[in-house]
């Protein structure tokens, strides 16, 4: 036995005691290595093996890994490299066996893949640095080697080197951060490490965050988009928190977008300097026309007008919060909004059909819901906006044609169909279709054929609309599918082609096209009406059924399925209807007939009023809410109820009719009534000024004009009786006001001018010997006062507080009731026995005294109050309108004013201004009486900030002034100076110290405003 | 002030038959009323053909198929007075004028008609001052006399004399309504815009436009008239349609012709104008 073999045997023996498997491995490896190693090298190698195996608990696992890689490594890299590797691994054993085992396995893997090069040195160097930073972190070091070899496996040598550099950089961080980094690195092994290195220079946290998300991002974005995203991340990395927020939202917001749309989002974000801006953009991603990137780019570029200083404004712009932004986008899109052209469409409707059909927007648009035009007999519903085409005119034309088509149903007698004898009046269509074996197919055919007939009739009667129709028909054709997979479906599709004045495409899988064409052509005639359509429905239905049964003879399976479907009443088709054509919309003829029928039962009194604030609110429409059901005849109730119930639960008519007895009239009334809101509420929408984004928020507030107020008529009389002396002083004050308008009165005995005509006549009479008239002068008399005044009372809950007189020592801190008015409602009136007046009472008294005096003066005035809760519910109470006499009802309503909720002043002032403008008076005065600064729970994002409300109110007052309304604010809030100074010029507000002076001051204010 | 100077052969003399297309039995009624010398009240919206009708009747009675020898001798068979708010009794009856140092009496149009036996047509009578409406009372009952206060005389109306008045109940306010004492002295004939085919025929005849375009114009008018509650009381008159037709006949594109003759003319409300424009482009091709 040589010395060598004895050394090797010794090691084997030692290993045997440690782990038999190791000894076995050692024997094999040593046998192999013998051939390429010198005896000395072999002894040295054996020594290393033993050292490793003996270095601690389970260290044999490391030794095993080393021995496993020994032969290939010695062969490929040389013996000395193997020895170095072994020594490096041995040093790792100082922690535990795991780091070294992981290390050896990693080396082995690289060897197997022929990737063992400088990467090894980089890994070892970085590993060394890490070990020096974390001297007792075995798991961390193990993780490092595991991740390091994963990274090395996925990356080139230079990339690996970059990663290793990164490791050296992060090794100064906390242990948890290093672990995060390592974990993220492992998942993001294929990332661009050079980018991460750069990112780390800006923010290590951002780098880790990015790595963490990388696996998800890589599935979301295409490679080139990802590269742009990386650049964007780099831009935003200065603020890792907002970057993280943006990336969170980005992942969610873009999940459902198409690759092109994602690209647009990233491109736009790339141009932004801050993550917070890009986040605002993401919040409205569903409202942006991402399929039209040029528009988005153009629109988003304008945000740079606000950068770098006005970040909030820029956020408001990108978040489509500001009016400027919305308008800019709409302008670029060529979007037409229903609200902007409602009146034109309304007038157009009335002109075409000659009856008051209201035109309303379809505003509750759910995702995946197509906002298709439709009518219900009382109104026509159109999409809230159209931006299908790039230019506004084209989009408006789509509105026009959609509307004309709906009107065509009325004009060309679609709803004249009476049905066969015995049809229920209000369900003639459904009854008629129920006679078919497949009612759905018959109904589908009817909609399609009637649409075709109406379009042809329109084209014949309105030659100007003909070309428009042709254009939209052409567009509709482009969206039709080539073919469906059922005979009935294809027949309907073929009819759709024919109805759009196009031929059926060549090779269309249907044999009966010629027969269908022959039938549908009958509708393109001046003599066709809805009854002809019904005949054509019958004929087409029969053609389809014949074709279907011929096909099913060839295919036994389809017979079985057709029979099964016949039992369920469904048409033997899988996709029954081609999608409705956009401009034709949906047709529900029975619904229209019900409403038309109900409207005929009692036509309400129609009045055309010039004082309608909007000119378009359809107060004189036949509104279902106006229909009183008391006079329904029994039979009618039965029919209508049947229809109603069928609508509600989807059961058959016959069943429903049979079930319902006459005593259900009450139920029916209930149904109608419950669907009707308070008939006196008109709603208006107003923009609101946002001082943060420095722009208006469009149509932000909804204001309801309410006239139904609990009346308390005795209040006015009581007040006048109680305050007789004040009343007379107010009257005296106002009596000093003089009419200011001059009017020429002819035929006066004296005056400033000579009435030439009369003077000559008189002279002639004198000559002719007749007695001349002496009334030959013109006088200028002050006859008119052209004044309209609106008193706007703050009805917020705080006006329920008792007044505090300056001499009162027991000042009670004012409580804001805005937040807990339910408590207030409950306890309010009985809390304390206190004979001091409430602020609201004083406000009311002051107005009562003014109203009394103004009646004498003859000025036009209105008394209104405002309150509300939130931007969607601003209440504007009209106690006495301009045109309304000051009668018991008006007095009752003034008396009935009571404190409610918040003080959102802006919309109330805007509405008051609108009402004043409608009077067209020369002098328009708005007098606001309040008890505190404007506030509401959502008046600005920061609830504690008064600034938003004050600024909005300031803006509303400025708007009023610009429109020629003189506004004046009176407040009883002692701190009023602070904000009123900001809201109005000095001469236009007054803080009343002694609230009892309110009536007196009010009359003075009125004098100064209107004199 | 007497400002109504009628010249012979100036068109007022009714040398040519005016075109009038009857829409109902108004011709028979008028002729029967004339036969009995019953004063006639014509009611109807502006531009629907009231004045043309009375001209046509005057022609038939004084120049056409119903004429008689004494009627054919009347130089100005139709004395038309457009009433306005300053129109006084003197303007109708006549007045003394200064001529050098003398005063000379000048007959008013009503006096002339009463004397000559012509038809006196007071257009938009409710616009006139109250004293002038009262003046016609004695002419419109069995007395058929006209007192001339300033001369201190009373004129008996010529046998052929007939008083015709018109007013437009649409836009006059309550204050300017006819008093029952005036109203109930007349046979009232209601006028309205003609039905679609007749209106088209009138437009085609008067403007020279072809019947198709005239039909479109009439259809447009029918639609626009359904909007008359929105800022314009009268709808669009046949007269305006004829103007539009004349513009079309002289080569203006129909849409533009309707724009200037109809859209801009009937209302100042921008939305109403816009809605009418949309109606025009719906009806006329080429928009």
ipTM confidence:
0.85
Nearest CB to A351 within list B96, B103, B226: B226
Nearest CB to B226 within list A344, A350, A465: A350
In DSSP terms, B103 is beta-bridged to: B98
Say yes or no to pLDDT of A1 above 90. no
Q: Sheet holding A923-930: strands in order across? A: A682-690, A695-706, A874-880, A860-868, A787-794, A923-930, A965-971, A989-991
At A304 the three-state DSSP class reads helix
Q: Looking at per-residue confidence, does A447 or A681 come out higher?
A: A447
pLDDT value of position A805: 59
In DSSP terms, A706 is beta-bridged to: A877
Give the mean pLDDT of A131-145. Answer: 88
Say yes or no to pLDDT of A812 above 80. no
Place of tokens 């000894």: A23
pLDDT tier at A806 (50, 70, 90 boundaries)?
Answer: low
Say whether A464 and B230 touch across the interface (CB within 8 A): no
Q: Are strands B94-99 and B102-107 parallel, antiparallel or unpaired?
A: antiparallel
**Tokens of residue B218, six digits:** 């009439």
Say yes or no to pLDDT of A984 above 90. no
Q: How far, in whole angstroms, is CA A721 from its chain's centroid?
A: 53
Task: Looking at the complex, report in whole angstroms how far the Cα of residue A618 sits from the nearest Cα belonging to chain B.
Answer: 12
Residues in chain B with CB shorter than 8 Å from the CB of A350 are 226-227, 230
Residues in chain A with CB shorter than 8 Å from the CB of B254 are none
In terms of Cα–Cα distance, which of A477, A579, A495 is closest to A543? A495
Which residue in chain B has the smallest CA separation from A747?
Answer: B86
Say whether B282 and A767 touch across the interface (CB within 8 A): no
Which residue in chain B has the smallest CA separation from A401?
Answer: B282
d(CA A626, CA A619): 9
Residues in chain A with CB shorter than 8 Å from the CB of B272 are 347
pLDDT tier at B39 (50, 70, 90 boundaries)?
Answer: very high
d(CA A264, CA A258): 10
In DSSP terms, B121 is beta-bridged to: B80, B164
Tell me if A587 sits within 8 A of A429, measured CB to CB. Answer: no
Best of B171, B217, B225, B230 to mutate (most A CBs within 10 Å, chain A): B230
pLDDT value of position B278: 94
Please, what is the angle between helix A175-187 and helix A204-220, to 10°? 20
Number of A:B CB contacts under 8 A? Answer: 77
Query: Does residue A470 belong to the interface with chain B, where contact is any CB pair within 8 Å?
Result: no
Tell me if B229 sits within 8 A of B91, measured CB to CB. Answer: no
Give, in order, the Cα–Cα distances in Å from A592 to each of A219, A426, A934, A997: 51, 9, 46, 60
At A491 the three-state DSSP class reads helix
pLDDT value of position A774: 86
Tell me if A352 sits within 8 A of A617, measured CB to CB. Answer: no
d(CA A934, CA A916): 21
Tell me if A457 sits within 8 A of A412, measured CB to CB. Answer: yes
Say whether B103 and A767 touch across the interface (CB within 8 A): yes
Say yes or no to pLDDT of B169 above 80. no
Half-sphere exposure in the Cβ direction for A678 (13 Å, CA): 10
CA dihedral B246, B247, B249, B251 (to 10 degrees): 170
DSSP secondary structure letters along B8-63 = TTSSTT--SPPP----SSHHHHHHHHHHTT--EEEE--TTSSHHHHHHHHHHHHHT
Q: Which range has the worst mean pLDDT, A152-166, A285-299, A637-651? A: A637-651
In DSSP terms, A965 is beta-bridged to: A924
Query: Does residue A465 belong to the interface with chain B, where contact is any CB pair within 8 Å?
Result: yes
DSSP secondary structure letters along A76-106 = HH-HHHHHHHHHHHHHHTTT-HHHHHHHHHH
Tell me if A566 sits within 8 A of A383, measured CB to CB. Answer: no
pLDDT value of position A70: 92
pLDDT value of position A609: 39
Say whether A462 and B278 touch across the interface (CB within 8 A): no
Say whether B272 and A765 touch across the interface (CB within 8 A): no
Say whether B227 and A350 touch across the interface (CB within 8 A): yes
**Tokens of residue A455, six digits:** 């379009």
Query: Does residue A290 belong to the interface with chain B, where contact is any CB pair within 8 Å?
Result: no
Say yes or no to pLDDT of A664 above 50. no
Helices (H), A736-878: 756-767, 821-827, 839-857
pLDDT value of position A474: 92
Residues in chain B with CB shorter than 8 Å from the CB of A757 are 1, 86
In DSSP terms, A966 is beta-bridged to: A925
Query: Does residue A347 belong to the interface with chain B, where contact is any CB pair within 8 Å?
Result: yes
pLDDT value of position A677: 40
In terms of Cα–Cα distance, which of A79, A160, A83 is closest to A122? A160
Give, in order, the Cα–Cα distances in Å from A917 to each of A705, A753, A906, A921, A925: 16, 35, 16, 8, 10
pLDDT value of position A739: 67
Say whether A764 and B272 touch across the interface (CB within 8 A): no
Give, in order, the Cα–Cα distances in Å from A947 to each of A68, A174, A205, A953, A980: 75, 44, 36, 10, 12
pLDDT value of position A663: 36
Q: Which range has the worst mean pLDDT, A136-145, A594-603, A707-716? A: A594-603
Environment class of A109 (CB within 10 Å of its CB; exposed 0-12, middle 13-18, buried 19+): middle
pLDDT value of position A833: 53
In DSSP terms, A780 is beta-bridged to: A744
Residues in chain B with CB shorter than 8 Å from the CB of A761 are 90, 95
Phi, psi values for residue B103, rounded to 5°: -105, 135
pLDDT value of position A681: 67
pLDDT value of position A336: 87
**Tokens of residue B174, six digits:** 């309550």
Percent of chain A exceeding pLDDT 70 equals 84
Residues in chain B with CB shorter than 8 Å from the CB of A467 are 285, 287
Other CB atoms within 10 Å distance of the CB of residue A59 = 23
Look at the alpha carbons of B194, B197, B203, B206 in this order and tell me if their dihedral is positive or negative.
negative
Residues in chain A with CB shorter than 8 Å from the CB of B226 are 350-354
pLDDT tier at A371 (50, 70, 90 boundaries)?
Answer: confident
Chain A window 34-93: which residues touch B at a Cβ cutoff of 8 Å? none
**Tokens of residue A580, six digits:** 């409705």
Say yes or no to pLDDT of B206 above 50. yes
Say yes or no to pLDDT of A651 above 80. no
Tell me if B74 sits within 8 A of B62, measured CB to CB. Answer: yes
Other CB atoms within 10 Å distance of the CB of residue A867 = 27
In terms of Cα–Cα distance, which of A615, A619, A621 is closest to A378? A621
pLDDT value of position A723: 81
Q: Are strands A787-794 and A860-868 parallel, antiparallel or unpaired?
A: parallel
Tell me if A752 sits within 8 A of A789, measured CB to CB. Answer: no
Give the mean pLDDT of A267-287. Answer: 90
Query: Does residue A765 belong to the interface with chain B, where contact is any CB pair within 8 Å?
Result: yes
d(CA B165, CA B188): 9
CA geometry: angle at A767 spanning A761 and A773, to 5°? 40
Place of tokens 């004198």: A766
At B64 the three-state DSSP class reads coil
Task: Looking at the complex, report in whole angstroms how far the Cα of residue B275 sits from the nearest Cα belonging to chain A.
Answer: 5
**Tokens of residue B241, six digits:** 């349609």
In terms of Cα–Cα distance, which of A810, A907, A814 is closest to A866? A907
Say yes or no to pLDDT of A996 above 80. no
In DSSP terms, B107 is beta-bridged to: B94
d(CA A224, CA A245): 23
Q: Which residues have C-beta within 8 Å of that of residue A597, sequence separation ≥ 6?
A: A425, A426, A636, A640
What proportions of chain A, in percent to the nearest 5, are helix, strand and coil? 60, 10, 30
In DSSP terms, B78 is beta-bridged to: B119
CA geometry: angle at A404 spanning A481 and A341, to 5°? 105
pLDDT value of position A555: 58
Task: Looking at the complex, report in whole angstroms how far the Cα of residue B283 sits from the nearest Cα belonging to chain A.
Answer: 5
d(CA A366, CA A384): 13
At B163 the three-state DSSP class reads strand
Q: Are strands A989-991 and A965-971 parallel, antiparallel or unpaired?
A: parallel
Q: Looking at per-residue confidence, does A831 or A143 come out higher?
A: A143
Nearest CB to A770 within list B1, B150, B282: B150
CA geometry: angle at A87 spanning A84 and A89, to 5°? 110
Other CB atoms within 10 Å distance of the CB of residue A808 = 11
Q: Looking at per-residue confidence, does A268 or A726 come out higher?
A: A268
Say yes or no to pLDDT of B157 above 90. yes
């Amino acid at each position: 036995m040589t010395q060598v073999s004895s050394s090797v045997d010794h090691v084997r023996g030692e290993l045997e005691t440690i782990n038999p498997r190791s000894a076995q491995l050692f024997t094999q490896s040593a046998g192999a290595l013998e051939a390429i190693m010198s005896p000395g090298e072999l002894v040295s190698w054996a020594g290393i093996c033993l050292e490793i195996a003996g270095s601690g608990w389970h260290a044999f696992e490391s030794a095993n890994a080393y021995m496993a890689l020994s032969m290939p490594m010695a062969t490929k890299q040389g013996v000395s490299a193997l020895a170095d590797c072994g020594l490096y691994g041995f040093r790792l054993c100082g922690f535990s066996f795991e780091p070294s085992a992981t290390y050896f396995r990693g080396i082995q893997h690289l060897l197997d893949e022929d990737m063992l090069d400088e990467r090894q040195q980089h890994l070892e160097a970085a590993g060394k640095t890490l070990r020096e930073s974390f001297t007792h972190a075995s798991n961390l070091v193990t993780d490092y080697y595991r991740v390091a070899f994963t990274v090395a496996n996925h990356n080139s040598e230079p990339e690996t080197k970059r990663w290793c550099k990164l490791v050296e950089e992060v090794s100064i961080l906390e242990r948890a951060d290093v672990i995060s980094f390592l974990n993220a690195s492992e998942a993001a092994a294929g990332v661009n490490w050079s980018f991460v290195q750069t990112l780390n220079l800006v923010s290590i946290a951002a780098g880790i965050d990015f790595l963490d998300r990388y696996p998800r991002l890589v599935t979301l974005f295409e490679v080139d988009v990802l590269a742009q995203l990386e650049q964007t991340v780099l831009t935003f990395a200065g603020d890792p928190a907002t970057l993280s927020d943006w990336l969170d939202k980005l992942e969610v917001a873009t999940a459902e977008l198409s690759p092109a749309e994602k690209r647009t989002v990233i491109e736009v974000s790339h141009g932004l300097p801050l993550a917070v801006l890009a986040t605002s953009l993401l919040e409205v991603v569903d409202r942006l026309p991402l399929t039209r990137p040029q528009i988005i780019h153009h629109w988003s570029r304008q945000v740079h007008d606000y950068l770098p200083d006005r970040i909030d404004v820029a956020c408001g712009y990108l978040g489509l919060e500001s009016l400027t932004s919305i308008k800019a986008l709409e302008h670029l899109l060529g979007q037409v909004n229903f609200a902007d052209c409602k009146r034109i469409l309304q007038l157009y409707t009335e002109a075409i059909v000659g009856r008051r059909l209201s035109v309303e927007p379809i505003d509750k648009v759910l995702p995946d819901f197509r906002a298709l035009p439709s009518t219900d007999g009382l109104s026509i519903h159109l999409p809230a906006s159209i931006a299908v085409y790039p230019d506004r005119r084209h989009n408006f034309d789509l509105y026009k044609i959609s509307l004309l088509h709906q009107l065509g149903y009325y004009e060309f007698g679609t709803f004249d169909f009476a049905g066969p004898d015995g049809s229920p009046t209000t369900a003639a269509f459904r009854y008629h279709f129920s006679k078919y074996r497949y009612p759905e197919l018959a109904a589908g055919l009817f909609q399609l054929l009637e649409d075709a007939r109406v379009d042809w009739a329109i084209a014949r009667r309105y030659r100007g609309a003909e070309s428009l129709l042709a254009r939209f028909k052409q567009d509709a054709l482009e969206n039709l599918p080539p073919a469906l997979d059922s005979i009935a479906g294809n027949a309907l599709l073929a009819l759709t082609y024919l109805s759009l004045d196009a031929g059926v495409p060549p090779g269309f899988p249907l044999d009966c096209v010629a027969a269908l064409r022959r039938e549908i052509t009958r509708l393109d005639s001046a003599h066709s009406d809805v009854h002809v359509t019904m005949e054509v429905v019958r004929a087409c239905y029969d053609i389809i059924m014949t074709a279907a049964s011929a096909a099913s003879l060839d295919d036994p399976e389809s017979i079985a399925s057709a029979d099964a479907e016949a039992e369920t009443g469904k048409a033997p088709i899988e996709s029954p209807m081609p999608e409705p054509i956009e401009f034709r919309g949906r047709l529900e003829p029975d619904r229209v007939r019900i409403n038309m029928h109900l409207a005929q039962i009692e036509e309400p009194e129609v009045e055309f009023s010039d004082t309608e604030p909007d000119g378009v609110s359809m107060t004189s429409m036949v509104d279902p809410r106006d229909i009183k059901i008391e006079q329904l005849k029994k039979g009618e109730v039965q029919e209508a109820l049947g229809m109603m119930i069928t609508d509600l639960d989807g059961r058959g008519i016959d069943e429903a009719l049979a079930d319902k007895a006459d005593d259900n009239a009450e139920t029916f009334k209930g149904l109608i009534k419950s669907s009707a809101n308070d008939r006196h509420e008109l709603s208006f929408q107003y923009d609101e000024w946002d001082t943060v984004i420095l722009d208006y928020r469009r149509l932000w507030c909804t204001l309801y004009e309410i006239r139904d107020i609990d009346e308390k008529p005795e209040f006015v009389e009581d007040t006048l009786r109680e305050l007789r002396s004040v009343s007379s002083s107010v009257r005296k004050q106002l009596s000093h006001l003089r009419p200011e308008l001059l009017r020429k009165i002819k035929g006066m005995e004296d005056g400033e001018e000579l009435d030439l005509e009369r003077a000559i006549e008189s002279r002639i009479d004198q000559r002719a010997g007749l007695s001349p008239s002496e009334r030959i002068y013109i006088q200028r008399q002050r006859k008119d006062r052209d004044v309209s005044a609106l008193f706007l009372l703050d009805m917020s809950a705080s006006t329920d507080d008792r007044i505090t007189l300056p001499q009162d020592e027991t000042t009670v801190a004012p409580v804001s009731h805005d937040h807990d008015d339910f408590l207030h409602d409950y306890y309010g009136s009985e809390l304390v026995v206190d004979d001091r007046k409430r602020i609201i009472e004083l406000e009311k008294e002051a107005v009562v005294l003014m109203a009394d005096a103004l009646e004498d003066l003859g000025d036009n005035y209105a008394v209104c109050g405002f309150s509300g809760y939130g931007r969607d519910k601003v209440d504007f109470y009209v106690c006495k309108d301009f045109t309304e006499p000051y009668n018991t009802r008006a007095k009752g309503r003034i008396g009935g004013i009571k404190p409610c909720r918040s003080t959102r002043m802006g919309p109330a002032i805007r509405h008051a201004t609108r009402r004043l403008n409608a009077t067209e008076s020369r002098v328009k005065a708005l007098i606001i009486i309040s008890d505190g600064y404007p506030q509401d729970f959502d008046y600005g994002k920061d609830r504690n900030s008064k600034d938003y409300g004050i600024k909005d109110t300031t803006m509303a007052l400025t708007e009023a002034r610009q429109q020629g309304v003189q506004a004046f604010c009176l407040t009883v809030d002692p701190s009023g100076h602070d904000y009123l100074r900001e809201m109005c010029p000095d001469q236009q507000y007054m803080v009343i110290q002694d609230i009892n002076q309110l009536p007196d001051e009010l009359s003075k204010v009125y004098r100064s405003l209107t004199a | 002030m007497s400002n109504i100077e009628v010249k012979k052969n100036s068109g007022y003399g009714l040398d040519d038959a005016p075109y009038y297309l009857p829409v109902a039995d108004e011709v028979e009624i008028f002729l029967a009323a004339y036969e009995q010398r019953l004063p006639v009240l014509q009611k109807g919206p502006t531009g629907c053909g009231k004045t043309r009708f009375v001209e046509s009747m005057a022609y038939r009675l004084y120049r056409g198929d119903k004429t008689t020898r004494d009627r054919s001798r009347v130089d100005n068979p139709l004395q038309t007075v457009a009433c306005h708010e300053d129109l006084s009794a003197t303007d109708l009856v006549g007045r003394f004028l200064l001529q050098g140092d003398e005063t000379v009496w000048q007959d008013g149009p009503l006096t002339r008609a009463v004397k000559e036996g012509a038809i006196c047509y007071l257009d938009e009578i409710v616009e006139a001052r109250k004293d002038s409406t009262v003046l016609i009372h004695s002419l419109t009952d069995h007395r058929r006399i006209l007192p001339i206060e300033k001369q201190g005389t009373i004129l008996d109306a010529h046998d052929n004399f007939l008083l015709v008045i018109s007013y437009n109940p649409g836009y006059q306010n309550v204050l300017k309504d006819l008093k029952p004492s005036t109203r109930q002295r007349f046979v009232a004939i209601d006028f309205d815009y003609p039905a679609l085919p007749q209106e088209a025929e009138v437009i085609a005849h008067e403007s020279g436009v072809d019947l198709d375009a005239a039909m479109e114009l009439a259809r447009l008018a029918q639609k626009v008239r359904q909007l008359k509650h929105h800022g314009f009381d009268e709808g669009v008159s046949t007269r305006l349609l004829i103007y539009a037709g004349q513009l079309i006949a002289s080569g203006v594109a129909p849409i533009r012709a309707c724009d200037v003759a109809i859209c801009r003319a009937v209302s100042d409300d921008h939305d109403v104008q816009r809605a009418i424009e949309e109606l025009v482009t719906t009806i006329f091709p080429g928009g």
